[in-house]
């Protein structure tokens, strides 16, 4: 299967743009580039600063710096964090898995729940249960993630004492980890489900007016089997697009949820870096998240291409 060259060009350009932006930001922003590259926690005498400037190559022409930047990227060298006293790349890798444990199950569960509930809601719009689910998911959809997290933490953790308020211990056993992860995963799932619900509902509403549905009904198929055997497949295409977009959204959304629940992932890393103005970590995380979003977009295009023959024909 050949992939359209035009689209690949866009992906490459997006990646190039983000990396270039990331290169110029610390050099163009107000303040000393040495501090902008090393973070506010870097404190040294004048001579040491000059020496570091030399080492970072800031005295050299900007094009040489730019070439070096690319070279470092290929070696996965994202700089050094003076705040955490660690290399940014190893810092991100060590945190990434905890975010992944939070995001992956939520994304999968949320897509399944949202797509199922949404297709039912679009199919039988008038039933009471579907009206309720519509308003429930609409409410979640319209709320900032951190606010819902605060509410849940207050009621389930604080008031009812069912879940721990804080902390996420990497040494704990599985039950402990599950206990810490339950509320965050629940909230993440609700958010993911609410978006999938809205998209799926709208999609089924459009799809159910099409002729093949009436034909299937005229042939005497049961309503439920029309929905799940025929309509669902056709209506679920936008959900696949959403899966990619959600990938980026969930990493940003996970950020807030992690902060509220003090989980040890990327979000908390970003939060700590904001508080200490640790620029190398912030830039590194931005780069990694962008990279993952672009890859997810690419994969989605691929899957779309593979599932929907119309896309292939239109090329």
Partner 1 sequence: MKDLIFQRKKYFIRIGGFLFILFLLVAIFANFIAPFQLKDRFDPFLPLGLKHLLGTNDIGNDLFTEFIYGSRITLLVGLLTGVFSVSIGVLIGLFAGYHGGFIDELLMGITDVILMIPRIPLIIVLSAFLRPSVGLMILVMSILWWTSTARVIRSRTMQIRSMGFVESARCLGFSGWHILFYEILPNIVMIIIPEFLITVASAMISEASLSFLGLGDPSLKSWGMMIHHAFQRGGFLNGMWWWYIPPGMSITLFVLSMVFLSFAFEETEIGMGEEVAIAPFNR
CA R_g for the chain: 24
- Which window, 60-68, 170-178, 219-227, 238-246, contacts partner 1 (CB under 8 A)? 238-246
Give CA–CA dist 266/271, Å, rounded: 9
Examine residue 129 and tell whether it contacts partner 1 (CB under 8 A). Answer: no
User: What's the burial of 123, exposed, middle or buried (CB within 10 Å: 0-12/13-18/19+)?
Assistant: buried
Examine residue 297 and tell whether it contacts partner 1 (CB under 8 A). Answer: yes
Examine residue 92 and tell whether it contacts partner 1 (CB under 8 A). Answer: no
Query: Which one of residues 198, 213, 227, 269 is an interface residue with partner 1 (CB under 8 A)?
Result: 198
Query: Which one of residues 146, 182, 228, 304 is an interface residue with partner 1 (CB under 8 A)?
Result: 146
User: Quick one: tokens of 116?
Assistant: 């199922």
Examine residue 294 and tell whether it contacts partner 1 (CB under 8 A). Answer: yes
Examine residue 58 and tell whether it contacts partner 1 (CB under 8 A). Answer: no
Provide the terminal-to-terminal Cα distance of the chain, rounded to the nearest Å: 12
In sequence order, the β-bridge partners of residue 86 are 81
What is the H or E stretch that residue 218 is in?
A: helix 211-218
Instruction: Specify the DSSP class assigned to residue 78.
Output: -
Query: Which one of residues 98, 123, 163, 256 is an interface residue with partner 1 (CB under 8 A)?
Result: 256
CA angle 38, 41, 46 (to 5 degrees): 75
Examine residue 162 and tell whether it contacts partner 1 (CB under 8 A). Answer: no
Examine residue 293 and tell whether it contacts partner 1 (CB under 8 A). Answer: yes
CA dihedral 25, 28, 32, 34 (to 10 degrees): 50
Query: Which one of residues 88, 120, 259, 269 is an interface residue with partner 1 (CB under 8 A)?
Result: 259
Give CA–CA dist 243/196, Å, rounded: 8
For partner 1, the closer of residues 264 and 283 by Cβ is 283
User: Quick one: tokens of 211?
Assistant: 């002729």
Q: Which residues bind partner 1 (CB under 8 A)?
A: 6, 9-11, 13-14, 17-18, 25-26, 29-31, 36, 122, 125, 138-139, 141-147, 150-151, 154, 158, 195, 198-199, 201-203, 205, 238, 241-242, 245, 248-249, 251-253, 255-256, 259-260, 270-271, 273-275, 277, 279, 282-283, 285-286, 289-290, 293-294, 297
């Amino acid at each position: 299967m050949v992939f359209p060259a035009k689209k690949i060009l866009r992906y490459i350009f997006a990646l190039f743009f983000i990396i270039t932006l990331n290169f110029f930001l610390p050099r163009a922003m107000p303040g000393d580039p040495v501090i902008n590259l090393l973070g506010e926690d870097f404190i040294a005498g004048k001579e040491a600063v000059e020496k570091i400037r030399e080492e970072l190559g800031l005295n050299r022409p900007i094009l040489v710096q730019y070439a070096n930047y690319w070279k470092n990227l290929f070696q996965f060298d994202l700089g050094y964090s003076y705040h955490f006293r660690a290399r940014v790349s190893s810092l991100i890798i060590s945190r990434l898995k905890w975010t992944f444990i939070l995001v992956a199950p939520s994304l999968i569960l949320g897509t399944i729940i949202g797509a199922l509930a949404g297709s039912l809601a679009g199919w039988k719009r008038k039933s009471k249960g579907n009206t309720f689910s519509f308003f429930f998911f609409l409410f979640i959809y319209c709320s900032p993630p951190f606010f819902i997290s605060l509410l849940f933490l207050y009621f389930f953790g604080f008031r009812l004492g069912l879940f721990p308020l804080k902390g996420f211990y990497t040494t704990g056993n599985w039950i402990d980890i599950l206990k810490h992860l339950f509320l965050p995963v629940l909230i993440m799932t609700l958010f993911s489900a609410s978006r999938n619900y809205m998209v799926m509902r709208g999609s089924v509403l459009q799809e159910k007016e099409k002729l093949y549905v009436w034909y299937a009904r005229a042939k005497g198929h049961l309503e439920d089997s029309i929905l799940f055997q025929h309509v669902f497949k056709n209506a679920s295409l936008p959900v696949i697009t959403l899966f990619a977009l959600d990938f980026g959204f969930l990493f940003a959304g996970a950020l807030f949820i992690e902060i509220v629940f003090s989980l040890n992932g990327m979000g908390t890393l970003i939060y700590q870096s904001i508080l200490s103005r640790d620029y190398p970590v912030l830039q590194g995380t931005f780069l990694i998240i962008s990279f993952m979003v672009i890859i997810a977009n690419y994969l989605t295009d691929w899957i779309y291409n593979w599932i929907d023959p119309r896309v292939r024909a239109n090329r």
